[in-house]
A and B are shown apart, each in its own frame.
Chain A
Amino acid sequence: MKETTLRAKSSKPLSAYRLIQALLGALFAAYLIWRFYNVFLDGTPSYGADSWLRFAISGVVLGSVYALIAIGYTLVYGILFMINFAHGDIMMLGAFSGYFVFEALEKIPSPVIDNPNQVFLNAHPVISVLLAFIVGATVAAVSGYFLEKIAYRPLRGAPRLVPLISAIGASIFLENAALLLFGSQRHDFANPVQITRGEGWNIPINGEVVILPYTGVLTIALSILILVALYVLVQRTQLGRAMRAVAENKSAAALMGINVNGIISRTFIISGALAGSAGVMWGIHLGLVYHMVGFIPGIKAFTAAVLGGIGNIPGAMLGGMFLGIIETMGPAYLGMSFQLKDVLAFSILVLILIFRPTGLLGEVLSEEKV
């Protein structure tokens, strides 16, 4: 079906570009199949099933964090057509908030008879984790709100490059503010003892035991929950409808009685809250926070957003997941050195953009932008 429409459209001869595309695709597919044979079927595989499961777990956890951050980029881009480069640093603020909540709760004694030294953090892990997420998301949301108000709103009418520079400036400001306030040392995230890092369910496979970490499962479950909630918010509620209307056409939305500035503020609040929760997850799962903790995840999530089709919410989720899995499993699958994981991730980004210039699920284009 697709083939015929393609033919029908191109009554002109097949362009050289298309030919090269097809050739590249065929080569790549052949290489992947050859690798598949090499990795799984040929004699002694370099990694057993247990290693693949470990790769997969770590990829999915990383991917779900990327997805949460990527949505922040996509939401803002969808509405303002600008890349909010300070988004990763908003995530850092969320991570620090979660860290301070845990630190504080660790100081509150909550003795029971058989354990007089018990602290609140370990006595009420569910409340503690919830509190960390609430505080982290709130701090990040408030920062997102003020970031927009101070750094972006005054530049609303300016050419598109101007807020971009402002965003980079805001990012540097936030990183250095955190450096001076919290110091340059890495801070160890003190988890409740029930979700100690490195502990989890044991899965016996292939004669080895693979640990499915509690923190990883928590991360995946929470991000799925948040993503579903966000999807419902955007698709089913009044606010979501208003956001989509503003994304479509600001002046028409204003004529319909929508408070455009209010909606933009709320978008930043939502994207900040997402980044904040991602930051707390990062801290709980990986255990270290410092002033630059948001930088690399921020860049990666931006890549994920482009990969999935910027402006497109399900695209950002898919892109984040895809990038996380490529990064962890890709080098092993292709038999290359792990220091090339970023090279691999970006090569795949280029490849995908050659075939689908608007990302995996397509860019959401409004008329204003076209």
Chain B
Amino acid sequence: MFKRSFAFLSLLVIASIALTACGSSTPATQAADSGSPATSGNVIKIASQSPLSGDQSVIGVDIKNGAQLAIDQLSGPLKDMGFTIQLAPYDDMANPDNGVANAKQIVADPAIMCVDGHYNSGVQIPSSEVYHSAGLANVSPANTNPTVTTRGYAEVNRIVGRDDVQGVVGADFAASKGVKSVYVMHDKTAYGQGIAEFFQQEAKAKGLEVLGFEGTEEKANFDPIITSIIAANPEAVYFGGMFSQAAVMFKQARDRGYEGMFISDDGFDSSDAAKIAGDTLMAGAGTFYSTVSGPAAAYADTAKFVTDFKAAFNHDPQPFAAQSYDSAAICLAAIQNAIKANNNQMPTREAVAKAVRELKDFKGITGVYNFNSIGDPVVAKYFVIQVMSGDPAQWSANEIVQTLDIAPPAP
């Protein structure tokens, strides 16, 4: 009997080892890699934090890839100065607890000088408290919740727009389409609920009737909410949150016979939305989303990036990959400036953070960046995009309906 259960146990162990072997690029393997180079004195690391597993990993993995590509292509000058630059990717699993735990590991590694990260505002906000306490620079490629910068931390910057503008852009768009009534939903996260509230405020100000304001953590069965939406019969449904929920809800609502317009936010911007909802996105009055990160075609300088990215990783970059490339590039430029200011010696974290904020007219592939006193870009782009195809491969062909350049609210 003992022998038999022992055999089962060993099988189990073997199976789990085999399974962990399947999962790649976890922080654990990274930690093992980083130990190998002996030139520890001049190693500088840039950490990336994004969801590498879980249902938002499509985007998160490309945030990591974007940072990797930037380091591969742009760390030449630093190499000439005698420094080795490495990427330390961390998986925050779109979960605040994991993000904060990783952040603690990150600040404990003295070689890490800059963090390119977070996809989810709800993860970035608590994690950046840790960066702030350690004086570690953080450039965010994707976080749009106002709180990210309104805390006024000297270390925290972003290169994208804000939800208090993006929600307004969404509501203005709905009003411009002649929508009279709207049902607002959100995913109860800092990001989703925040943007839904800004949307609701502006919608009311524009004279739209808000027929409901509901949060949901549901992931599979939206039946009851859809029934109440159909009973309220709004002309548009707004979802503040991520594609992983919004696309499921939109699809089920169409299946149940709702014909109105769907509007969502930059969390909806992923080809997986088409994979989940398919052609139902084009039925009825169609699906629109506002975003702070336009498709590659919206930026003049991304053509080379797209080609290089495809060559390196074998697929088209997801939204925010180009922003992540720029965030990492900003990190590299700031580190370079800080090293120069320190007589070609290893700079302090504070100096790097200061150098990020002080960058003047940094020319990235998605625009020219200057940061204001709290770390917002002085001008940010906002887009409203219409879904044009239910085929995930055609996601980047979605049509830009509006492009707006808007300055952030005064700090």
Please report A residues at the B interface, Cβ cutoff 8 Å: 46-48, 50-51, 54-55, 58-59, 62, 149-150, 153-154, 173, 176-177, 179-181, 184-186, 188, 197-198, 209, 211, 282, 286-288, 290, 292-293, 296, 327-329, 331-332, 337-339, 341
Complex A-B, nearest 6 residue pairs according to Cβ-Cβ distance, in ascending order: A198-B255, A58-B223, A51-B231, A54-B227, A328-B224, A180-B19
Quick check: A184 and B54 within 8 Å, CB to CB? yes
Residue contacts A-B, CB under 8 angstroms, 14 given? A58-B227, A154-B5, A180-B22, A180-B23, A185-B55, A186-B248, A188-B275, A188-B276, A286-B220, A288-B276, A296-B220, A327-B224, A332-B228, A338-B225
Whole-angstrom CA separation of A50 from B8 in the bound complex: 55
- Of chain A, the residue at the smallest CB distance from B19 is A180
Given contacts A150-B12, A185-B275, A186-B276, contact A179 B58 (CB under 8 A): no
* Min C-beta distance of B98 to chain A, whole Å: 14
**Of the candidates A149, A176, A282, A341, which one forms a contact with B8 in the assembled complex, judged by CB atoms under 8 Å apart?**
A149
> Which chain B residues lie closer than 8 Å to A293 at the CB level?
220
Task: List which B215-229 residues lie within 8 A (CB) of chain A.
Answer: 215-217, 219-221, 223-225, 227-228
- Of chain A, the residue at the smallest CB distance from B254 is A198
- Of chain B, the residue at the smallest CB distance from A332 is B228
* Min C-beta distance of A42 to chain B, whole Å: 17
**Of the candidates A59, A176, A198, A287, which one forms a contact with B256 in the assembled complex, judged by CB atoms under 8 Å apart?**
A198
Whole-angstrom CA separation of A198 from B253 in the bound complex: 9
> Which chain B residues lie closer than 8 Å to A198 at the CB level?
252, 254-257
Quick check: B227 and A55 within 8 Å, CB to CB? yes
B interface residues, how many (CB within 8 angstroms):
42
> Which chain A residues lie closer than 8 Å to B214 at the CB level?
337-339
> Which chain A residues lie closer than 8 Å to B9 at the CB level?
150
Given contacts A51-B231, A188-B276, A338-B225, contact A179 B215 (CB under 8 A): no
Quick check: A288 and B16 within 8 Å, CB to CB? no
Interface of B, secondary structure class, is: helix
Quick check: A47 and B228 within 8 Å, CB to CB? yes
> Which chain B residues lie closer than 8 Å to A296 at the CB level?
219-220
Not counting A62-B223, A339-B215, a sample of 6 additional A-B residue pairs whose C-beta atoms are within 8 angstroms of each other reads: A58-B221, A180-B23, A185-B57, A188-B278, A329-B224, A338-B225
* Min C-beta distance of B391 to chain A, whole Å: 13
With an 8 A cutoff between CB atoms, is B92 at the interface? no
With an 8 A cutoff between CB atoms, is B53 at the interface? yes
Quick check: B19 and A177 within 8 Å, CB to CB? yes
Quick check: A185 and B272 within 8 Å, CB to CB? yes
Quick check: B224 and A332 within 8 Å, CB to CB? yes
With an 8 A cutoff between CB atoms, is B147 at the interface? no
* Min C-beta distance of A184 to chain B, whole Å: 5
- Of chain A, the residue at the smallest CB distance from B188 is A339
Q: Which of B16, B231, B275 has the most CB of A within 10 A?
A: B231
- Of chain A, the residue at the smallest CB distance from B4 is A149
With an 8 A cutoff between CB atoms, is B230 at the interface? yes
With an 8 A cutoff between CB atoms, is B244 at the interface? yes
Given contacts A46-B231, A149-B8, contact A185 B254 (CB under 8 A): no
**Of the candidates A54, A150, A188, which one forms a contact with B230 in the assembled complex, judged by CB atoms under 8 Å apart?**
A54
Whole-angstrom CA separation of A287 from B252 in the bound complex: 9
* Min C-beta distance of A96 to chain B, whole Å: 14
> Which chain B residues lie closer than 8 Å to A332 at the CB level?
224, 227-228
Whole-angstrom CA separation of A186 from B275 in the bound complex: 9
> Which chain A residues lie closer than 8 Å to B251 at the CB level?
287
Given contacts A154-B5, A211-B257, contact A58 B224 (CB under 8 A): yes
* Min C-beta distance of A140 to chain B, whole Å: 18
Whole-angstrom CA separation of A133 from B217 in the bound complex: 29
